[in-house]
Amino acid sequence: MVRQQSFPPPQRLLLGPGPSMVHPRVLQAMSTPLVGHLDPAFLTIMEENKRLLRWLFGTANEITIPISGTGSAGMETSLVNLLEPGDEAIVCVKGLFGQRMAEVARRCGAQVKEVQAPWGRIVDAADVRTALRGCRKPKVLAVVHAETSTGVLQPLADLATLAREHEALFVVDTVTSLGGHPVRVDDWGIDVAYSGTQKCLSAPPGLAPVTVSPAALSVIHQRRQPVQSWYLDVSLLSQYWGTERVYHHTAPISMNYALLEALRLIEAEGLEARWQRHKRNHEALAAGLNALGIEFASQEGHRLWTLNCIGVPEGVDETGVRRALLDEFGIEIGAGLGPFKGRTWRIGLMGESSTAANVLAVLSALECVLPRFGFRVEAGIAVAAAQRVLAQAKD
């Protein structure tokens, strides 16, 4: 009896902050019988994943590998390998994931200076310049590209210049941008970037792609003490992912299968086309929300295409609406985090979830549900507004 209730779970349309929808080909890859983690056939798959990840990150970095954990393990990998006790790190904080970066850096024993921006806004490069000038020898400048808690896309060009000027390593969280927004690691002068599989790559959660520049690698090789995490030690990992194939830990075989299929789907679509798809569907959703009178919580001109962080209308029951969407329409959207808890919703349009059909599905479901919670909606107005954007994009 219990069995029927808990598994398999109900079907969902995943429009939250991740996981996003997974393509049937990727799901099928997950169920492929396993080979060993040192099998020649698996080594070929590892090479293919490294090649495709380099292409996706826009980098020639040799060390471009999927870490055996979720996006947060990617964050931890990036910081624990670079930072040693006493090192100075500047961390830009404009939401939960910037806070997390600062916390992880502090747990490395680093002297962390946070450069803050209010939730929903980008960090000002001038503030970062001031912070850098106050440092003796900043080792790391860290920033979240796409802040999943606020829906804000941080411009990186000025920060990259500042990092270069101060000879700090530039560490960028691309969890919610990689595969949805342009990310060009080498062109932009990024030293370490990380992401997760369950957002715009549309694979299940479980791996964290990470790329490490030669400059960052050289800093890692000159550490005074071992990396505090054995599991996430890049020098050890690179012996398994490099030509030596030295056993480190048992790689998550099935997740690497899934990553390969997900990357091949991205390759087949093409990056430019994929970015345009994310942009168009975001604009269609935004038009619909605007027609409803729902406002974005993120700063205009700096909104993510991949995750839409919007204000809950005054007086509306935040959890009630989400529960109705889930129970009656099978649609998941995300709640707010931190100071945005109870005040925002987060609608993700990432990877396979970013489709015209899904934009119309969530808008029409909102049109049905919101009036019940005391928010007046003119029937069809949001859907119509979105349809106009979608029609224009087709021309």
Of residues 98-127, those binding a second copy (CB under 8 A): 100, 103-104, 106-108
The CB-of-303 to a second copy minimum distance in angstroms stands at: 22
Q: Which is nearer to a second copy, 73 or 131 (CB)?
A: 73
* 323 contacts 345 by C-beta, under 8 angstroms: no
Does 6 bind a second copy (CB under 8 A)? Our answer is yes
Near a second copy by CB under 8 A: residue from 65, 73, 141, 359: 73
381 binds a second copy (CB under 8 A): no
Between 159 and 220, name the residue whose CB sits nearer to a second copy: 220
Percent helix / strand / coil, the chain, rounded to 5:
45, 15, 40
C-alpha pair distances (Å), 244 with each of 39, 125, 212, 240: 14, 42, 18, 6
The rounded distance, in Å, linking the Cα atoms of 341 and 333 is 13
Segment near a second copy (CB under 8 A), from 66-74, 87-95, 292-300, 357-365? 66-74
Taking CB under 8 A as the rule, does residue 268 contact a second copy? no
> What is the contact mask toward a second copy in residues 341 to 380, using x (rule: CB under 8 A)?
----------------------------------------
Give the Cα separation of 245 and 200 in Å (integer).
Answer: 30
Query: Residue 155 or 252: which CB sits closer to a second copy?
Result: 252
Is 283 a binding residue for a second copy by CB under 8 A? The answer is no
What gap in Å lies between CA 298 and CA 200, rounded to an integer?
A: 19
Which residue number, 52 or 159, has a Cβ lying nearer to a second copy?
52
Tell me the closest approach of the beta carbon of residue 169 to a second copy, in angstroms: 19
User: Among residues 37 and 303, whose Cβ is nearest to a second copy?
Assistant: 37
SS3 call for 81: helix
Residue 159 CA, chain-centre distance (Å), reads: 19
176 vs 281 by CB, closer to a second copy: 176
By CB under 8 A, the residues from 204 to 243 that bind a second copy are: 204-206, 226-231
Please tell me whether residue 36 binds a second copy under the rule CB under 8 A. yes
Using the minimum distance from each CB to a second copy, give the nearer residue, 262 or 285. Answer: 262
> Torsion angle of alpha carbons 274, 71, 106, 83, nearest 10°?
-80
Sites for a second copy among residues 130-169 (CB under 8 A): none
Q: How far is the CB of 125 from a second copy (least distance, A)?
A: 27
Question: By the 8 A CB rule, do 22 and 353 touch?
Answer: no
**Binding flags for a second copy, 168-207, as an x/- string (CB under 8 A):** ----------------------------x-x-----xxx-
Query: What distance lies between CA 131 and its chain's CA centroid?
Result: 26
Q: Are 74 and 195 a contacting pair, CB within 8 Å?
A: yes
Which residue in the set 1, 4, 41, 137 belongs to the binding site for a second copy (CB under 8 A)?
A: 41
**71/313 with CB nearer a second copy:** 71
* Cβ-contact 141, 168 below 8 angstroms: yes
DSSP label at residue 352: G
Q: Convert 136-158 to b/e letters by CB count within 10 Å (16 or more is b).
A: eebbbbbbbbbbbbbbbbbebee
